[in-house]
């Protein structure tokens, strides 16, 4: 394949756009598999290394701290250099780091390896959404970005499934090795991906003189990011602790608990993410607040269902409610990420996603696993998890507040 990038006069064909979507989706799947496999083997690591819940939670928090801290650097680089090369380098780094976790013999090497995963995933996460959006016209972005973010439920579920099954049979070291090494096979195709012109089918634009300052003045971007931060706090805490919750409070072994939770997450995630992308595009045609209305409604419906799942005494009822809650929560994935693209100028989109990554993780899942672990050590895991529905309701509030500013900020980005 020719590495020469597309020019403004030579835009990518629809076929090449679909190829780019498939490749970036495959890499994003590995992204979330490698990220979530840790949580699948939490009970095994806890027993093997004799860790407290606070120390166990910090394995997830350390990844997020690194991920969010280094993201602004990659955002700056992504708006000035090759996005596909940055994405390929990130894939190589996190794949090797995940494999290194598989040979860690104690807590500190494991902590260092999981922290390094954050470097690679930050590189890919900041540049890939903006890169993907440039292959497609604006009216299709909601569905395309929703398909890209199908990797969240599917990759997360595969991480739980593979981690649970492999960990139960061969141990947690084998689980990290098995999911880490395959990523190296996609480094070269990603490196050779031809990039479209920045802005894709948007009007010509001038690069922002002070992009970070302008982002912080963008009310839609700020409030949308706060909604995503509250959602990330809740989802990150649930993702990390639900397998342990099923193990401790419902008596499910590691393999079965992760298989059930993984299967539920895949099904609910596919339904919710695809429905959210389709509904978002449809309601966006009727109202400039369409994406936000779909996401806010999903949060309002998902919060009480999540609380009921945590409190349910029956395992069957608990799992059924988890499925319903996740379906509604995943409605937001495509719409809220599309809002970021639509309210920011083409020359600042990598930086926009970098700032978004920093904020949602600094306020979200960089701290929620450790906070829930802290609460669990004192009042029990069920009580700790009840913090998550409150944060989901807060996300809904921010979505509806963002609707007040979205029309003006979208018009300003289009005119940039």
Residues 53-84: tens digit of each pLDDT: 778 878 877 887 888 888 888 888 887 778 88
pLDDT for the residue 155: 87
- Confirm whether 194 is domain-assigned: yes
Mean model confidence pLDDT for the chain? 85
Residues 269, 157 contacting (CB under 8 angstroms): yes
- Confirm whether 18 is domain-assigned: yes
pLDDT greater than 70 at residue 200? no
- Confirm whether 8 is domain-assigned: no
Phi-psi label, residue 380: left if phi above 0, alpha if psi -120 to 50, beta otherwise: left
3-state SS of the chain is CCCCCCECCECCCHHHHHHHHHHHHHHHHHHHHHHHHHHHCHHHHHHHHCCCHHHHHHHHHHHHHHHHHHHHHHHHHHCCCCHHHHHHHHHHHHHHHHHHHCCCCCHHHHHHHHHHHHHHHHHHHHHHHHHHHCCCCHHHHHHHHHHHCCHHHHHHHHHHHHHHHHHHHHCHHHHHHHHHHHHHHHHHHHHCCCCCCCCCCCCCCCCCCCHHHHHHCCHHHHHHHHHHHHHHHHHHHHHHHHHHHHHHHCCCCHHHHHHHHHHHHHHHHHHHHHHHHHHHHHHHHHCCCHHHHHHHHHHHHHHHHHHHHHHCCCHHHHHHHHHHHHHHHHHHHHHHHHHHHHHCCHHHHHHHHHHHHHHHHHCCCCCHHHHHHHHHHHHCHHHHHCHHHHHHHHHHHHHHHHCCCHHHHHHHHHHC
**How large is the angle between the packed helices 254-286 and 290-311, nearest 10 degrees?**
150
pLDDT greater than 80 at residue 4? no
Q: How confident is the model at residue 1 (pLDDT cuts 50, 70, 90)?
A: very low
- Confirm whether 406 is domain-assigned: yes
pLDDT for the residue 29: 93
pLDDT greater than 90 at residue 401? yes
pLDDT above 70 as % of the chain: 92
- Confirm whether 7 is domain-assigned: no
pLDDT digits (tens, 9 = 90+) for 30-48: 999 988 888 888 888 888 8
pLDDT digits (tens, 9 = 90+) for 158-180: 887 888 888 888 988 999 999 99
- Confirm whether 3 is domain-assigned: no
Average pLDDT over residues 102-131: 90
Which CATH number fits the domain that encloses residue 185? 1.20.1250.20
Full-model pTM: 0.75
pLDDT digits (tens, 9 = 90+) for 363-385: 887 788 888 888 888 898 899 99
Q: Which residue range forms the structural domain that includes residue 94? A: 14-201+211-415
- Confirm whether 5 is domain-assigned: no
- Confirm whether 9 is domain-assigned: no
Count of the separate structural domains present in the chain: 1
Choose the most confident range, by mean pLDDT, from 82-91, 117-126, 280-289, 301-310: 301-310
pLDDT digits (tens, 9 = 90+) for 83-104: 889 999 999 999 999 999 999 8
pLDDT for the residue 80: 78
pLDDT for the residue 204: 46
């Amino acid at each position: 394949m020719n590495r020469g990038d597309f020019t403004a006069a030579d835009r990518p064909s629809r076929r090449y756009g679909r190829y780019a979507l498939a490749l970036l989706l495959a890499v994003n799947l590995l992204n979330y598999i490698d990220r979530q496999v840790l949580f699948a083997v939490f009970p095994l690591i806890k027993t093997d290394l004799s860790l407290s819940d606070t120390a166990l939670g910090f394995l997830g928090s350390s990844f997020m701290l690194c991920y969010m801290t280094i993201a602004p650097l990659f955002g700056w680089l992504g708006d000035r250099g090759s996005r596909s090369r940055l994405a390929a380098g990130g894939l190589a780094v996190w794949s090797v780091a995940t494999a290194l976790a598989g040979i860690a013999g104690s807590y500190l090497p494991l902590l260092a390896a999981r922290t390094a995963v954050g470097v690679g995933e930050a590189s890919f996460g900041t540049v890939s959404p903006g890169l993907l959006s440039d292959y497609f016209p604006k009216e299709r972005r909601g569905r395309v970005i929703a398909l890209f973010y199908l990797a969240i439920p599917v990759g997360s579920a595969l991480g739980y499934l593979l981690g649970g099954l492999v960990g139960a049979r061969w141990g947690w070291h084998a689980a990290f090795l098995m999911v880490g090494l395959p990523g190296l096979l996609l480094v070269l195709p990603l490196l050779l991906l031809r990039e479209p012109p920045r802005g894709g089918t948007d009007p010509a634009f001038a690069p922002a003189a002070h992009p970070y300052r302008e982002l912080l003045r963008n009310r839609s971007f700020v409030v949308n990011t706060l909604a995503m931060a509250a959602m990330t706090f809740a989802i990150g805490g649930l993702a990390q602790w639900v397998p342990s919750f099923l193990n401790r409070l419902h008596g499910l072994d590691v393999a079965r608990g992760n298989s059930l939770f993984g299967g539920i997450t895949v099904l609910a995630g596919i339904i919710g993410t695809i429905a959210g992308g389709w509904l978002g595009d449809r309601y966006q045609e009727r109202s400039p607040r369409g994406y936000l209305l779909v996401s806010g409604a999903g949060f309002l419906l998902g919060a009480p269902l999540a609380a009921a799942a945590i409190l349910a005494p029956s395992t069957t009822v608990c799992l059924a409610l988890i499925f319903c809650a996740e379906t509604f929560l995943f409605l937001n994935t495509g719409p809220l990420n599309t809002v970021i693209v639509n309210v920011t100028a083409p020359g600042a989109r990598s930086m926009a996603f970098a700032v978004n990554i920093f904020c949602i993780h600094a306020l979200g899942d960089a701290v929620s696993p450790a906070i829930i672990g802290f609460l669990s050590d004192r009042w029990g895991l069920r009580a700790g998890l009840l913090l998550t529905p409150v944060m989901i309701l807060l996300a809904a509030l921010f979505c509806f507040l963002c609707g007040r500013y979205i029309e003006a900020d979208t018009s300003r980005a289009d005119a940039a």
